Structure 1
Amino acid sequence: MSELEFVTQHRRYLHAHPELSLEEYETTEYIIQFLKSEGVSYERPLKTGVVAYLPGKSDKTIAFRADIDALPIHEENDVDYRSQVDHVMHACGHDGHTTALMLHVKRCKALYDKGRLPHNVVFIFQPAEESGGGANLLIKTGKLDAYHLDAIYGVHIMPFVAEGSVVVRDEEITASATEYRFYLHGKSSHVANKEQGHSAAEAMQHLLTQLSQIQQYHLNGLQRNIVHVGRFHAGEAINTVPSSGYLEGTIRTYDMTDLQQVQKQMQKIAQSMSLLFNVQCELKFEEGYPPTINDPKLKKYVVESLAYNHQTVIEPKTPYLFGEDFSFYGQIAPAYFVFIGTRNEEQNNIHGLHTPQLNFDEKILINIADYYERLLFNFDEVIE
């Protein structure tokens, strides 16, 4: 079987059998069966996901991470390997990330068998990137501490960047992602006696207006931030004053000071509801993903490895406003994350992440494995 046949077969199987965050049981078993067939040792620190290991010739240990979960999206691609699960799809390319890492495992095992694996290698098949912060859950188990990682690398496909190009950026490359939720509690009354009620709908109108002003009036205009409203509703019946309301959304920023300012302003807005509308407001934040920070000390390995494999390096001035839980790995080891271009207009591979038409050419996955392999051979000193 050629490497192209290998990545095509595995990627398309995974694509046809997607599973949501923390439900990746069949995906986990599929990876385990592959690891067993290659004779690679592994462990399961969480109920889903796998961490595999191969010893090398040095005392350095390099980790590579792939996320394995899918999204609650109904696929619209007309391909023979389209998702067999209604309303679940690998719409973010994690099937590709997983397959590329499987190919890297296969190559590393061949090097190990020949006594040529330069360093110890940890392969992280991580669950729950999309929802649940699987990286953080894995780190909290403490299992990765035993490997004493010298570096950890990750990739993400990017359909807005051409095939053959890779986005590289020191320091921040993705934004923090923090969820927020407002709960409004008013007082109901019949519409004929509306003055006796305290309308959650009136408070909701104020809330929507004030949220839309945070970026314009309370943050540096040169900074890129998003205060996004994803869903809201208020009321119970057509002829009553709404007694309850709910609003949820996400905050994206790569400057933690900006995040604190957004949260502070939201708290002020919540407090104003009682004074202005006699509506009680409860605001909750859910711990999100911090910005993904790339360690500049690893950049030379990254750039040299990409150049060796004839990949064009693109260095943007500003980070993406995506959230990415690879960010947590920077807490335990020097880390570096890049975006691999998959855009190919001739093949109509032009659709964005988290869309029902996302697709890419599997040959890209061989490029990722090439990059990983070169990183191993380029890593020749301890990062201090």
Structure 2
Amino acid sequence: MNELEFVTTHRRHLHQHPELSLQEFETTDYIAAFLDNLSVEYKRPLDTGLIAYLPGNGKHTIAYRADIDALPIFEENDVPYRSLTDNVMHACGHDGHTTVLMLFVKRCKAMADQGTLPQNIVFIFQPAEETGGGANRLIRAGAFENYPIEAVFGIHVMPFEDEGHVVIRDEEITASATEYRFYLTGLSSHVADKEQGYSAGEALQHVLSQVGQIQQFHLNGLKRNIVHMGHFVAGEAINTVPSNGYLEGTIRTYDINDLESVKQQMKTIAESVKLLFNVDCEVKFEEGYPPTYNAPKLRKHVEHGLENAGFTIIDKPTPYLFGEDFSFYSQLAPSYFVFVGVRDVSKGYVTGLHTAHLNFNEHMLIKIADYYEAILKSYGEVEA
């Protein structure tokens, strides 16, 4: 089996058998069987996902990460390898990420068998990137305590960039992602006696207005932040004063101080509701992913690897506004994350991430493995 056959076979198998975050049991077993066949050491710190390891000849230990989970999306691609599970699809390219790392493991094992593997390598097949923060779960489970990792590298396919182009950026490349929810509880009454109630609807209008002003009046206008209101509702019946209200949304920032400012202002808004409307109001936050920070000290390794793999580098002036849980790996060691273009207009591979038509050419996965290998072979030599 040549490498194109390898990546096509494995990627399409994974694509046909997608599993949601923290439910990747068959996917994990599939990867484990592959590693068993190669006689590569691995461990399973969580119920899903696994960590593989190969000792090399050098003194350095570097890590590479792939995410393995899918999304609750019904696939609309008309291809022989479309998802066999209704309403579950690899709509974010994680099937490709996983296949790349499998190919890279195969290459590294061949080098290890020949005694030419230049460094120690940790291969991270991570669960629950989409929801659940699988990277943080692995770290908290102590999955990496026995590995003196010096650097972590990762990629993401990007359908808005043409094949052969790779987007890089030092420091922040993706935003933090934090969810918020307001819960309002008033007192219902019949509309004929509305003055006897405490309207959660009126209070919710106040919350909506004030949350909408946070960006305008409480954050630095020169910075890019998003305070988004995604869903809100109030009331129970057409002729009663609303006794309940609800608002949920997401916060995207690049600066942790900005995030804290938004959260504090939301807490103040919640407190004001009781004073103004006699309606109880609580705001809760679900901590998401911090900004993905690319360590500038690793840029030389990344540029060298991409150039040797034949990629064209695009230096992004501003970060993306979506979140990515690769961000947690900076707790372990300096890390660097890049976005690999997979856009192919001739085949209609132009739709975005998290869409029902996402698709890409498997030959790009071989070039990504080339990038990983170029970093590995030069890691102790390229000046950081």
- SS of structure 2 residue aligned to 1:285: strand
Q: Is the 8 A contact 1:198 1:278 kept in 2?
A: yes
Identify the residue that residue 137 of structure 1 maps to in structure 2: 137
2:213 alignment partner, SS class = helix
Aligned residue for 1:271?
271
The secondary structure found in structure 2 opposite 1:314 is: strand
- Percent identical: 67
Question: Which residue is 1:295 aligned to?
Answer: 295
Q: Is the 8 A contact 1:60 1:382 kept in 2?
A: no
The aligned residue for residue 171 of structure 2 is: 171
Aligned-partner Cα distance in 1 for 2:186–2:223: 36
Check whether the contact 2:167–2:338 (CA below 8 A) recurs between aligned residues: yes
Residue 252 of structure 2: aligned partner: 252
| Other-structure match for 1:48 | 48
**3-state SS of 1:82 partner:** coil
Kindly state the Cα deviation for residue 355 of structure 1 after the two structures are TM-superposed.
1.2
Give the match for residue 37 of structure 2: 37
**Residue number in structure 1 paired with 2:62:** 62
Q: Structure 1: 5+ residue runs without aligned partners?
A: none
Paired residues in the alignment total 384
Q: Which residue of 1 aligns with 2:152?
A: 152
Other structure's SS at 1:144 match? coil
CA distance in 1, matches of 2:33, 2:69: 18
Letter in 2 for 1:339: F
TM-aligned CA deviation for residue 346 of structure 1:
1.1
The answer to which of 294-303 and 208-217 deviates more is 208-217
Instruction: Say yes or no: does 1:360 pair with 2:340.
Output: no
State the SS of the aligned residue for 2:222. Answer: coil
Deviates more, 1:125-134 or 1:227-236: 227-236
Write the mapping of 1:1-384 to structure 2, written as runs, cut at 5 A: 1-380=1-380
Q: What SS does the aligned partner of 1:89 have? A: coil
Greater CA drift, 172-181 or 204-213:
204-213
C-alpha distance in structure 1 between counterparts of 2:229 and 2:351, whole Å: 23
**What do residues 16-50 of structure 1 show as CA deviations (whole Å, max 9, x unaligned)?**
11111111101100110111111111100000001
RMSD across aligned positions (CA): 1.4
How many Å apart are 1:157 and its aligned residue? 0.7
Q: Distance in 2 between matches of 1:359 and 1:226?
A: 29
Runs of 4+ in 1 over 4 A off after TM superposition: 381-384
Q: 1:58–1:119: 8 Å Cα contact kept in structure 2?
A: yes
Q: Which moved more, 1:47-56 or 1:69-78?
A: 69-78
The letter of the residue matching 1:243 is: S
Q: Which runs of 5+ in 2 are unaligned?
A: none
Say if 2:300 and 2:383, in contact at 8 Å, map to a contact too: no
CA contact (8 A) 2:184 2:282 kept: yes
Secondary structure in structure 1 of the residue aligned to 2:284? strand
- CA displacement at 1:238 relative to structure 2: 2.2
Measured after TM superposition, the shift of residue 382 of structure 1 is 10
Whole-angstrom CA distance in 2 between matches of 1:47 and 1:289 = 21
Q: Distance in 1 between matches of 2:383 and 2:199?
A: 59
CA distance in 2, matches of 1:145, 1:366: 31
Contact 1:69–1:94 at 8 Å: present in 2 too? yes
Give the Cα–Cα distance (whole angstroms) in 2 for the partners of residues 327 and 382 of structure 1.
24
CA distance in 2, matches of 1:233, 1:86: 30
**Separation in 2, partners of 1:86, 1:237:** 35
Matched AA of 1:174: T
Of the structure 1 ranges 69-78 and 207-216, higher mean CA displacement relative to structure 2 is found in 207-216
Partners of 1:207 and 1:343 in 2: CA distance? 41
TM-score relative to the length of structure 1: 0.97
- The amino acid across from 1:82 in the alignment is R
Q: Is the 8 A contact 1:294 1:335 kept in 2?
A: yes
Tell me, yes or no, if the aligned pair for 1:150 and 1:383 is still in contact at 8 Å. Answer: no
Q: Is the 8 A contact 1:150 1:382 kept in 2?
A: no
Deviations 1:84-115 (A, max 9, x none): 11111111111110011000011111111111
In structure 2, what is the Cα distance between the partners aligned to 1:216 and 1:344? 39
User: Which string of whole-angstrom CA distances, capped at 9 and with x for unpartnered residues, describes residues 46-72 of structure 1?
Assistant: 000010011101121111000001111
3-state DSSP class of the match of 2:145?
Answer: helix
What TM-score, normalized by structure 2, do the two folds share?
Answer: 0.97
Q: Answer whether contact 2:300 2:382 (CA < 8 A) is retained.
A: no
Q: Give the deviation of 1:383 after TM superposition.
A: 9.3
Alpha-carbon separation, structure 2, partners of 1:40 and 1:12: 23
- Look up the SS of the partner of 2:146 in the other structure: helix
